[in-house]
Structure 1
C-alpha cells in the first residue's frame, strides 16, 4: 500500500517518464491579480492556457500546494473538505490531447495506484462522444460505468468568453453503505458521499466568442488535477481523508497537544480535524510570506488560525498550542517542500504571536457572544442584529465568522448582509476622513507647487555638487525638513535604486540629506538639521556623498550584468521582476520556473566576474524608443518610458533601458558574489548579492570560517575539505556501530526480560522500567517480547529528561485489553497523555521521576481488565 509521500513521488516519476518537465510547486501567492491565493494546480500556468505567454515546455507535471476557503464552515465536519490541499497535475500546452491524457490517467490509476478497476466510474461531458470512445477503445472501460454530465459538472471555462472545454472525471465507488443501492450509478441523487472524484481531465479545445458561439482553439491544451488527499484515502482504504497517513499523524498530534483523543465523540473529532487541517494551511501561508492582518491574504490566514485556536479551547486547551503543531507539519512535509525546514522558526514565531494576541480576547469574545445569544433568546428573538455582530468585531476584535459559528451551534441566526453593511458604513466614514486629511497633505501641496513652479531639474548624471535655489521648505511630521530646490544632483529613489545621501550647506545652515523622493517631476529632499536655519529663495550648495553614490552605482550596474548572465545560463524566458539596490547590496528578482542549481549559480557568478575582469566600458545615451529597440535594448520590469529613453550599454554584453546611475567602467565593481538564491512567489526567484568591498568582506568571512574549521579539525586550509569528509565518514561509521550495538543490547535485554514475565489470570505480563531508553528502543523491545512470548501484554517505561512509555498487546488479547488504554493511564500519572492502536501504543509525560509509579498504575489497571 502506497503512502501519501510515495503517491506524490510516483506521480511525478510517471509523467517524467512520459517526457514531462517537473516544475516545483509555485507559491500560494499567485502571480495573478485576479486571484487572492493559488486555488488549483493550473493557476501558475494560466498565462500559458490563455495564450498570454509562451510555455517554456510543452509538457509539464507538478504537485501544487493550494488553499481554498469557500467552504470553510464544512472543514472538519466532512470527510473531504480542506483549506490546504495538494493537487497533482499533468499539463500539455499544444502538445498531446485527449487520447494520451485519458490513457495515461487510466494507466496510473490501475497500474501504479492499483485501484480496483471494478470500483471505478467515469464521467464525460454530455456531447463528448470522442472522450467516451477513447475510454472504451483505449482503456477497455465498460460503457455501462461511463456517465454523461452537463456543464455544472463536466465543463471548464476561463470566463464568460475565451478558452473553455469539456472535462472527464474518474470516480471511486465506495459502495451502497455510503448511499444508494446495488443499482445506483454515478450522478444519482443521494450518492455524493459514495462516488468520490479523484481525477479531473480538462480538454481545453474551444474559444467562446462574445455571441456565445464556439470556435476551435489553434492549440489544444490539457489541464488535469488529482487531489492527493483523496487519492491517498482511496489507495489506503479510508473513507475519510483525515485517517490517511498524510493527515492522521497530525490528528494524533492535535490530540496530544489538547489532551483529547480522536474517536471519543463527534465533537472531539470535529475540533481535531479543524486543528489538523488549519495547522497545515497556516504553516504554508506563512512560509510563502503571508502575515496575519485584517485584509486580503492576511485576513484569510488570521481567520483560519483563529478558528483553529478556538477549537483548541473547545477541547479544553487554554494554553498556547497551535504553534507547536508547526513542528509536526514540517516533519511530515519537509521532504516535499524543503523550504519549510529553513523557515520553521519564523513560521512558529508568527503563529505564536498571533495565537497569544487572539487568546487574550478569545475568552472575553466567547463570553460576550454567549451573553448576546442569551439576551436575544430572553427577548424572544432568534437572531443577532448587525449592530451586535459589528460591535463584537469592531470593539472587541472578535471575528464575524466565529460569531456566526457559535450562533449556529446555538441555533441562533446572524445576517452577514447586515454585518457587511455596518462594515461599509465604517469604511465610508474612514474614506471621508482621509479625504479631509489629504486636502491638507502632501499630494495636494505638490499639485499647488507644480501649478506655481513646474518641475525641478535633476543634474546628478553629470554633477555630484551643485549650487541651487531653495524654492520651498516645510517641516515633516517627525520634525525633519522637506526641501525643494530648483535643481539637484541628488538621485531620487526610483526603479529599485535607493536615493543619494549627502549634505546641504550655505548661509549658516547645514543639513544631512537622508532621503529624496520625486513626485510629478519635483524632487523633495528629506533633511536632518545639523546647524542653523534655511530660508526660501536663498542659494545653497548641494553635495552628494560620493562614496555612497559609488557603491550604489556598482551594485546597480552589477544587476545589469546579472540579468544578462541569467538569460545566458537559464534561457531567454528570464525577465526582471523587480530589484532593490543600495550601497551595501543588491537584490534581483526574476521569472524562472524552478530553483537554480549550484552549478547554474556558479556559472552565473563566473560569467559576471569574467565581464568585470574584462573592464568593459559602460556607454549611456539618450535615444528614441524606436532607436533603442533597433539597438536591442531590453525594458525593465515596472518602468515607464517616454518617447526619449536612456539606454545603458555594457560593452557588447548587455543593453537595457534604465534611468538609474551607473559607473563608467564595469571593472570598477571589482568583485561580484552571490549570497543566496530563493523563491519568493509563483515562478519568481530572488538573488541577493554583494560587490566591491562588501563582496571582499563576505569572502573574507568565509575564509575566516574555514580557518576556524581547519584549526578545529587539526588541518590546514589546503586539506580541510578532505579532513572534514574523513571525520564525517568516521562519525557515520561510529554511529552505525553504536546503533548496531544498541540494537544488540536491546535484543539482549529483551531476552533477559523473558525471565521477568509473570502470569496474571493466565496471561503473561512484562512490566519494566528503564532510565536511558528512547522511544524506538522501547518499541523494539515490545516487538521482540511479543514475538518470543507469543501471547502477552508488555508495559515498558523509561525516564531521564522526560517520561516515555510503550505498551504492546498480542492480537489474541486485544478483545480484553487495549494498548492505548494502558499507555494513557501510564502517561497521565507522569503528567502527559496519549493513545494508539489496540495492539501497540506509545505516549510521553513531563515527569521522568514518576515512570515507575506510572508503569505500576498501568499494571494495576491491566489486572482489573483481566
Structure 2
C-alpha cells in the first residue's frame, strides 16, 4: 500500500475526483443550515440534501467533499471501544443526475487499487441481493471473482428513509487476514468478526419511495458515496484502530504526557485516554464552527463532551484544566485543511477553558454528593439511584444526568431515568404555572389563530403613521361581533394599518383609532399568524364592522422604538467586532424606553470591552450612516453577507436593513433613516442569563439625556451627604473605605480576644463520646478567621479531642472542625465530620483529617446539626 498519512489521503481523494470533473466543495460547518431535522452534520451527504431532493439546483452535477461530522448516538461507548468516535471526516463523491453505477464503481476501484495501491486480492464487496446490475459491473467490468461479491438483504444494503429518494448500495471491504477472523470457513463480509472492515459505501439513489411504500424509478438517478477518512487511514498505515493513526497519536501522546499514564497497560486508563483523545477533536471543531456550551441542543452536546473529557482527566489524575492545551495539538495538525482553526485559536481555547473551569466547580461538589448516594445504595443492597436524587444532583448542583449514569455504571449501578424525567416535567409544569398570567376577559382567546384566519391586513406603517382605512372585524371575549360599545375592551382588525404588530423582538405600536361616532385607544398591537390585531379600549361612542376609520400611531413612542431597534443592529455588529464572529443574537426586546439584547458568548464581557463596544456604536451614530432597506431573495441576502438567524425559517423574499457599510441584517422591524437620528447610546448593564448567553441592556436618545441628568443629581446628593466638593468625591469615598476597614480590623481583633477569654469556658463544656473528648459550641457573630483562631487556641490547650465550632454571622453559618493528632492516627477525620454536620444546614464543605471548615444556609438548623455530632463520631468509631 502507498505510504501516506491522513492529510495526504484526504488530498489524494480530492485531487482524484477533481480530475474526474468534480467540483471541489470545502467542508460545510457542523451546524446545519435550514435543516431542523438535524442537530449536527452527521454524514457527508447531509449538507447536500437539498440537491438530492430537488429543492435546490447544485452548483455542479459532480461534487467531491471531505465533510467534518459529529455523531452523538454512541457517546457512552466512545472510549470503551477502540472503534467508536464522535468526530470524523467523511470523504464523498456525488452525482446529481449525471454518472451512475458503472462510473461510481470503476472510480472507487481505481482510487483504492491504483492511487492508494491497496492489493486487489484484499478487497471484497457486498451488494443488494436484487441488484443484478451492480453484480455484473463488479464481476464483468471490474473482474472481481463472484465469490468475493456478497449479496446481502435490505437491512444491510439498501438505503432509504420513510419516503423520498432511496436505493441499493454496494459496500467495499478490506480483508485484514485470518488472524482477525472468527475461524469459520464461510467467514466473509456480513460476519460479526473483525476480519472484514467496510471502508467505502456506494449508494445508488435510483428510486422515489411514496407514502404507500411504492418504489418509483427516478428519471435522473443520483450517486452518494461515503468513506471514513480515519478508517481508510488506519488501513493504509496498518494501524489496528483509529487511535493508532499517526496524526491522532499526537493527541494521545499529549494525554499520556499530561497525565503521566501509559496507554496499553490498564484497560480503564485506556478508556479515559481514548475519551479525551476523541473528544478533544470534536470540541475544537464544534467551537470553531460557532457552537457554545449551553443546556440544550448542540450547545449541550458540546458541554457534555467537554465535561466528559474533563472528568476522564480527573480519573487519570489530572487536577488542573488541561483541555485548552490539547487544542494546540489538534489545531497544529488539522490547520493544513482547516486554516480557520488557527484563525480562531484564541477564541476556541477561551471557550473550552471557561467551560472546563466552570465544570471544576460543579464536579467536586457533585461527585461528593453522588459518592454519598452510592455508599447508601451499597449499604442497603440497592442497585438503582432514585430519580429524585438524580434530579437533585442535576437541579441543585448542575451535575448532568449522563455523567451520573456513567459514574454509576462504573460501579455496576443504574439510575431511575423515568423518575428523573418525571421530576423534570414536574418542575417544568411549576414554571409554566408561574409564568401563566390572567388575560383580561375582553381579550380572551386572543392568541387563537383560527379566530383570525379569514382576515388579511396590509401593513403600511414603515413610512406612514396616519391612514384612512376601514374596520374588517371586531372581537370580544373570543367571539366575532358586529359592534363594540363605550368602555368595551376588545380587538379590532383593519383593512390597512400603520400600527406595527409585535414581532422580531420589537413591541407593538400604540395610539388611537377614531371614527365619526367613536374614539378607541390602541393599547397594544400584535401579529398573530400574519394578521395584525389591535387591542383597544373604546373610550367613547360605538364602533362597527365596515365602518371607515382614521388610524393614528403614537409618533413619539414609535420614534423611540426605531432608535432602540436600529441601535440593536449597531450593537450586534460591534459585539462581533470586539468579542468575535461567534457572537450571535439569542433574543432581543425593543421597547420605547430601552433595548435588551441577548447574545451568545462564553464569559462575562470585560469593562474595557463594554466601553469599546459603546464607543463604536456612538461613533457609527455620529458618522450619520444612511439606513437603506433592501428587499431581495434569501439566497441573495446570504451572498451579500447579511446577518440572520439562518436556522430560522425565512420566506424566499427577505428584507435587509443596511446601515452604511457597517451593518447588514435581515429584519422586518421599523428603523431610523439615518444613524444620527439615534442620538446617543449608553449601555446600562451586562449580565448572564443562561450558560453561554449574555444580556446587554441599553438606552438611546432622550433616555440617555434623562440618564445623565439623574446621574448628575445623584452625584450632587452624595456630595452633600459626604459634605465634600464634587471634585473631591472620589478621594473622600476612598478615605471612608479605609477608615471602615481599619474599624473592622479592630472589631475582629476584639472578637478574637473575647473568644480567647471564653476558650476555657468552652473546654469545660466538653463531653465524652465512647471515650473520645468532644467539644462543640455555637458562638454568635464571629467570622471564619476568628472561628478558626478560636479552634486553634482550644486545640493547643487540650491533649486530645474533637472540636466543632459554629457561628452565625450576617445570616450565614460557618463551621470549623479540628481533630488532635492522636485521634487522627486512630482514623478520625475532621473533613468527614464537618461534611456531615454542614449537610444538615443545607451546606457543604470539607478538608484535611486534622482541620476542616464548611458553610451552611439554614441558620435555624445549627443546634440540630451540633446535636448530631456524637452519632457522627460513633459512626467513625465503628
TM more than 0.5 = yes
Contact 1:490 1:499 in 2 (8 A): no
Q: 1:438 to 1:208 in 2, by over 3 A?
A: farther
**Displacement of 1:54:** 2.6
State the SS of the aligned residue for 1:330. helix
- Per the alignment, residue 111 of structure 2 pairs with 108
- 1:83 is aligned to 2:79: no
Q: Which range moves more in the overlay, 9-18 or 320-329? A: 320-329
Change (3 A) 1:143 1:595: farther
Offset from partner CA, 1:78-132 (integer Å, 9 cap, x none): 2221101110101111111110001111111111111222222211111112112
Return the alpha-carbon distance in structure 2 between the equivalents of residues 456 and 204 of structure 1.
46
What's the counterpart of residue 169 of structure 2? 167
Q: In 2 relative to 1, CA 456–219 (structure 1 residues): closer, same or farther, beyond 3 Å?
A: closer
Per the alignment, residue 31 of structure 2 pairs with 29
What RMSD in Å do the two structures reach over aligned CA positions? Answer: 4.9
> Per-residue deviation at 1:348?
1.6
Give the drift of 1:171. Answer: 1.2
- Measured after TM superposition, the shift of residue 219 of structure 1 is 1.6
Determine the C-alpha separation between the residues in 1 that align with 2:323 and 2:560: 51
- Any idea what SS the aligned residue of 2:247 has? coil
Q: 1:492 to 1:333 in 2, by over 3 A?
A: farther
Question: Residues 372-400 of structure 1, C-alpha deviation per residue, up to 9 Å, x if partnerless?
Answer: 22211211222222222222222222111
**Distance apart, 1:16 and its partner CA:** 0.8
1:153 and 2:156 aligned: yes
- Alignment of 1:392 onto 2:406: no
Shift, 1:228, TM fit:
0.5
Q: Is 1:63 aligned to 2:74, yes or no?
A: no
Cα deviation code 1:342-369 (max 9, x no counterpart): 2222222221121111111112222222
Deviation at 1:56, TM superposition (A): 2.7
Aligned to 1:521: 532
Indicate the residue corresponding to 1:542 in structure 2.
556
- Counterpart of 2:126 in structure 1 is 123
CA contact (8 A) 1:455 1:522 kept: no
Matched, 1:138 2:135: no
CA distance in 2, matches of 1:24, 1:213: 36
2-structure distance, mates of 1:413, 1:300: 22
Instruction: Give 5+ residue unaligned stretches, structure 2.
Output: 469-490, 513-523, 537-550, 571-598, 600-616, 643-647, 667-672, 677-878
Q: 1:217 to 1:541 in 2, by over 3 A?
A: closer
SS at match of 2:375: helix
Note if contact 2:457-2:497 (Cα within 8 Å) is conserved in structure 1. no
For residues 151-175 of structure 1, what are the alpha-carbon distances to aligned partners after superposition, in whole Å with 9 as ceiling and x for unaligned? Answer: 221110022x322111111111222
Alpha carbons 1:489, 1:542 under 8 Å: kept:
no
Aligned to 1:698: none
- The 5 Å alignment of 1:692-731 reads none
Q: 1:130 to 1:541 in 2, by over 3 A?
A: closer
Q: Indicate the SS of the match to 2:556.
A: strand
Distance 2:534 2:262 in 1: 65
Name the counterpart of 1:218. 219
Q: In structure 2, the residue corresponding to 1:429 is in which secondary structure? A: helix
Q: Is the 8 A contact 1:2 1:235 kept in 2?
A: yes
Secondary structure of 1:246's counterpart equals helix
Deviation at 1:425, TM superposition (A): 3.2
1:237 Cα deviation after fit = 0.7
Aligned-partner Cα distance in 2 for 1:259–1:90 = 43
What is the rounded CA distance, in whole Å, between the counterparts of 1:233 and 1:49 in structure 2? 31
Cα distance in 1 between the residues matched to 2:152 and 2:259:
45
Secondary structure, counterpart of 2:344 in structure 1: helix
Partner Cα separation in structure 2 for residue 340 and residue 290 of structure 1:
14
Displacement of 1:189 after TM fit? 4.3
Distance (Å, rounded) in 2 between the aligned partners of 1:246 and 1:403: 32
The Cα shift of 1:503 comes to: 14
Q: Does the alignment pair 1:13 with 2:15?
A: yes
- Residues 110 and 595 (structure 1), Cα distance of their counterparts in 2 relative to 1, 3 Å cut: farther
Partner residue in 2 for 1:200: 201
TM-score, normalization by structure 2: 0.56
Partners of 2:493 and 2:532 within 8 A in 1: no
State the aligned residue count.
561
- Aligned equivalent of 1:4: 6
Aligned mates of 2:557, 2:190 — CA distance in 1: 80
Aligned twin of 2:44: 41
| CA 313–524 in structure 1, closer or farther in 2 if over 3 Å, else same | farther
Residue 244 of structure 1: how far off its partner (Å): 0.6
* SS in structure 1 at match of 2:206: strand
Task: Answer whether contact 1:456 1:485 (CA < 8 A) is retained.
Answer: no
The change in CA–CA distance for 1:84 and 1:494 in structure 2 (over 3 A counts) is farther
| Matching of residue 424 in structure 1 with residue 425 in structure 2 | yes
Structure 1 residue 437 corresponds to structure 2 residue 448: no
**TM-score, normalization: structure 1?**
0.56
Q: 1:522 to 1:404 in 2, by over 3 A?
A: same
Give the Å deviation of 1:257.
2.9
Q: 1:244 to 1:542 in 2, by over 3 A?
A: same
On the 8 A contact 1:179/1:190 being kept in 2, the answer is: no
Residue 337 of structure 1 pairs with residue 351 of structure 2: no
Aligned to 2:413: 412
SS at match of 2:393: helix
CA contact 1:285–1:301 (8 Å) conserved in 2: yes
* Partner Cα separation in structure 1 for residue 229 and residue 552 of structure 2: 71
Which 10-residue stretch deviates more, 331-340 or 165-174? 331-340
Aligned partner of 1:308 in structure 2 is: 309
Q: Is the 8 A contact 1:23 1:593 kept in 2?
A: no
